[in-house]
Structure 1
Amino acid sequence: MQATGLVTVADLDYNTSDKTRISVSARLAVVLDTGRSVLLLDDRGWSSTRKWSDASVEDIRETALVVVGPDEPIEDQTDEEAAAEYWEYLSDLLERQDLAIDPAELRELPHEVRLSQRLLKRIGAATDAAAQGPGGTIQWS
């Protein structure tokens, strides 16, 4: 099996008390040439003091890419060291699922951000087919 890409799915975060403010969850998966998607991160997301009426598809896509990583350097780490550690971590997660994908290969994969229909509806873009992007629904395995 070969990895063909990374996909982040952004969705409404229902764990927030203020439903009028932007709150988004983000899940990162690797997509394999078999069509199977393997979940890597499901603990990412963000909230904002901005209202949903101020949200845009592009802002959400850009922020989703940031929050799923690579993470910011800590202490004396350089950006490159932090990124290398992140890609190694993702590779280790895949290895635990019996998938051997090199960190350097993961780093070079195309990365798509998809917004859930619920999220598109919340920001008023549900009728904009281009907002969903190619590829349709993700089937997690």
Structure 2
Amino acid sequence: MYKMAAEALVRRITRVDTASNHPTSSVDVTLLHELEIEGGRSVVLLRDRGFGGSTPWGTVSVDELETHARATVGPDEPFDGLTAEDMERDYWRYLAALAAEQGVLVTAVELSELSHHVEFAPRLLRLLDTRTP
């Protein structure tokens, strides 16, 4: 594995898209959580997250989806006697290790201090735009 010199980190981004190319009437999204690096490069931190249910697209707002996306990419809720602090510490260490595997040296603390931006795919926004007032 190669190691790169410290790079200027810009932010974390969660990209929200429909889970299918042919979305159903109910919310079903996939999330891609990335670390953006100065110069436009990014590395994927999480690609295995998403959410859905029986909620119709026409009844959910961008703000609701953003809140749910932020919660879904983590840190996770405590379980098996772990505290919220344990979960948060382990989450940031895990993301830092994933970045290191891709050649980006970053500490857990540095990751936790970055801004977190949420972006929505145009096709998802079109589903929300079809809502009736």
| Structure 1 length-normalised TM | 0.83
- Aligned twin of 2:119: 114
Letter in 2 for 1:5: R
| Structure 2 length-normalised TM | 0.88
Q: Once the two structures are superposed, what CA deviation does each residue of 1:37-63 show, in whole Å capped at 9, x if it has no partner? A: 111111100012110110111111110
Letter in 1 for 2:77: E
Distance apart, 1:35 and its partner CA: 1.6
Equivalent-residue separation in structure 1 for 2:54 and 2:101 (angstroms): 38
Matches within 5 A, 1:1-141: 1-14=7-20, 19-124=24-129
Relative contact order (alpha carbons < 8 A, sep ≥ 6): 1 or 2 greater?
Answer: 2
The count of corresponding residues between Structure 1 and Structure 2 is 124
Letter in 1 for 2:30: S
Give 3-state SS (helix, strand or coil) of 1:70's partner. coil
Letter in 2 for 1:103: A
User: Which protein is bigger by CA-based radius of gyration?
Assistant: 2
Q: Which runs of 5+ in 2 are unaligned?
A: 1-6
Distance apart, 1:3 and its partner CA: 1.2
Q: Once the two structures are superposed, what CA deviation does each residue of 1:71-130 show, in whole Å capped at 9, x if it has no partner? A: 1112111101100000000000011111110000000100000000010001117xxxxx
Q: Once the two structures are superposed, what CA deviation does each residue of 1:10-58 show, in whole Å capped at 9, x if it has no partner? A: 0001189x81111111110001112211111111000121101101111
Please, what is the CA RMSD of the aligned residues? 1.6
Instruction: Extract structure 1 runs of 4+ deviating beyond 3 A.
Output: none
Give 3-state SS (helix, strand or coil) of 1:123's partner. helix
Q: Which runs of 5+ in 1 are unaligned?
A: 126-141
